[in-house]
Structure 1
Amino acid sequence: MDFELPIYPENQAAMKKYMQSQFEFNGVKAPDRHLIERELWQSVKQLPPAEIMQFIETLYARPTREYQYVAIEMALRSVRWWDSIDAWRKVFGEYIRLHPEQFDWVAQHFIGAENFWLRRIAITLQLSFYEKTNVAFLEEAILADIDTDEFFIQKAIGWALRNYSKENPEWVMTFVEEHELTIFAQREALKKIKQNKMFHRKHTKSSTHDN
């Protein structure tokens, strides 16, 4: 799919300076870009998910910063297929891993969203971040949905806590003790911790018998 943003030389230097010369720009200001994005979406929204993903990847690989903004906006608008939601989570998670200064900008699109699939992304956004996990955001995202009956939300809560327990099991155990999680989410959250305890106990007994 052919797509080109206009170039406004009179804006390029100021926009580059504002971003501390980290990026090159076409010079398209946000209001103009948003209009272009809305028009572009009309051409993109009927494409199969795989083609949209390819288009987004192509946009993001371009050298000027506005294309990356457009790519993110297309991705945000495309998060509507429940069976591919975790693939989108990977896209956004990888983006903020590379650009941590934009964590808040990305995260605010998901936390507190009316659509529970978007809130699922908020909960699982930091999978595999480990020591770089924004714990305050993780806690906020979980607590916002802790009483939600939706299976996929409860699964996300357990998944996120289980994954973070690899980095900080004490925090996860304390969180579980202090909050009323569903039985399912609690079981998922503590699974890795219990496995490690069982392994340690078995290993300790084995060492004792060897002696």
Structure 2
Amino acid sequence: MDADQRLISAVRSGLAALADPAKAPAMRAYMKSAMPYRGVPKPPRAGLLKRIFAEHVLPDRETFTATVRALWREAEYREERYAAIDLTGHHAYRDWQDPELLGLYEDMIVTGAWWDYVDELAARRVGPILRGAPATVTPVLRAWAIDPDLWRRRTAIICQLGAKEGTDTELLTHAIEFSASEKEFFLRKGIGWALRDYAKTAPGWVQSFVDEYPELSGLSRREALKHLGTGEGAVRAR
């Protein structure tokens, strides 16, 4: 099935019309991006995409997937890839958010290979699919958790952000254990973030987890215990 070229053209021309060349270099520098920016901040970009997505409703899953892939793979500016991610989250396609899309999201995660892409896909796409089909998706994420690719591993660690009582602690533990002693910043930060988020729901579990894994980095521990009353004391005691 072919991509919807009218939607893609509307996105590209709309972003070009909103472009601010004066803002683009700073945006690119902040994100350390090899791909250039148009210089379109999120609020005007979101308004543009809301209108375009309403005007160009995709008729079926195949067209949806092909259009997302084309926007992503053929992007010349980073905002075009943001548009691809936003398209995957549009409410019109909510019913298609199931394990069949994991291959698409995995491709975007691995080829995007940076936190601004990966974090949105992990928490807002992969995570909900996991909660909707745990028997199918959990084995996939357990494999990602021990994959050599940094971004698959970060996805496995942070995909349960916001799950609250629905958090699969066995999966969370598995994902963290493999990367607990890693020196890579994005893994250490991801571990701390995942634990800090779950501490809002189960502070005792998180405190016990941190105590049980002394190999956790200082960054991971500080993030995990940030909002726990015993957190700073626990960190200083080690």
Q: TM-score range with shorter-chain normalisation?
A: 0.5 to 0.7
Shift of 1:195: 7.8
Change in CA separation of 1:44 and 1:183 when aligned onto 2, cut-off 3 Å: closer
- CA displacement 1:61-87 (0-9 Å, x = unmatched): 287x6x966544222211132032111
Shift of 1:106: 4.8
Q: State which structure, 1 or 2, has the greater radius of gyration over its C-alpha atoms.
A: 1
Instruction: Tell whether 2:189 aligns with 1:155.
Output: yes
Give the whole-Å Cα distance in 1 for the aligned partners of 2:138 and 2:171.
Answer: 9
User: Which residue of the partner structure matches residue 11 of structure 1?
Assistant: none
Secondary structure of 1:192's counterpart equals: coil
Cα pair 1:60 1:71 within 8 Å, conserved: no
Cα pair 1:57 1:71 within 8 Å, conserved: no
User: Which residue of the partner structure matches residue 178 of structure 1?
Assistant: 212
Give the whole-Å Cα distance in 1 for the aligned partners of 2:161 and 2:71.
Answer: 32
RMSD: 3.4
Change in CA separation of 1:55 and 1:69 when aligned onto 2, cut-off 3 Å: farther
Secondary structure of 2:144's counterpart equals: coil
* Percent of aligned pairs sharing the same letter: 27
Unaligned runs of 5+ in 1: 4-25, 27-32, 199-211
Unaligned runs of 5+ in 2: 6-59, 234-238
Change in CA separation of 1:197 and 1:166 when aligned onto 2, cut-off 3 Å: farther
Give the whole-Å Cα distance in 2 for the aligned partners of 1:146 and 1:197.
Answer: 19
User: Which residue of the partner structure matches residue 85 of structure 2?
Assistant: 53
Give the whole-Å Cα distance in 2 for the aligned partners of 1:174 and 1:51.
Answer: 41
TM-score (norm 1): 0.64
Cα pair 1:75 1:88 within 8 Å, conserved: yes
Change in CA separation of 1:78 and 1:109 when aligned onto 2, cut-off 3 Å: farther
